[in-house]
Structure 1
Amino acid sequence: MSKKVVEVKTLKVGKYIILDGEASKITAYSTSSPGKHGAAKARIEAVGVFDNQKRSLVKPVDKKVDIPIIDKRTGSVLALMGSEVQVMDLENYETFELPLPDELKDKITEGTEVEYIEALGNLKIMRTKGG
Structure 2
Amino acid sequence: MAKKVVEVRTLKKGKYVVIDGEPSKIVGVTTSSPGKHGSAKMRIEAIGIFDGQKRSIVKPVDSKIEVPVINKKVGQVLAIMGDTVQLMDLETYDTFEVPIPEELKDKLTEGAEVEYLEAMGKTKLLRVK
TM over 0.5: yes
Task: Give the CA deviation at 1:124.
Answer: 0.5
Give the superposed CA RMSD. 0.8
Question: 1:82 corresponds to which letter in structure 2?
Answer: G
TM-score, normalised relative to structure 2: 0.97
Partner of 2:85 in structure 1? 85
Structure 2, unpaired ranges of 5+: none
The CA deviation string for residues 8-53 of structure 1, in whole angstroms up to 9 with x for no partner, is 0000111100011110000110101152222110000111101111
Question: 2:51 corresponds to which letter in structure 1?
Answer: D
- The 5 Å alignment of 1:7-18 reads 7-18=7-18
- The 5 Å alignment of 1:40-59 reads 40-59=40-59
What SS does the corresponding residue of 1:103 show, helix, strand or coil?
helix
Whole-angstrom distance in 2 between the partners of 1:73 and 1:126: 10
TM-score, normalised relative to structure 1: 0.95
Task: Give the CA deviation at 1:84.
Answer: 0.5
Partner of 1:27 in structure 2? 27
Structure 1, unpaired ranges of 5+: none
Identity %: 66
Which of structure 1's runs of 4+ aligned residues deviate more than 3 A?
none
Task: Give the CA deviation at 1:78.
Answer: 0.7
Partner of 2:38 in structure 1? 38
Whole-angstrom distance in 2 between the partners of 1:63 and 1:34: 14
Task: Give the CA deviation at 1:113.
Answer: 0.6
Aligned length: 129
Partner of 1:122 in structure 2? 122
Task: Give the CA deviation at 1:105.
Answer: 1.1
Whole-angstrom distance in 2 between the partners of 1:2 and 1:49: 15
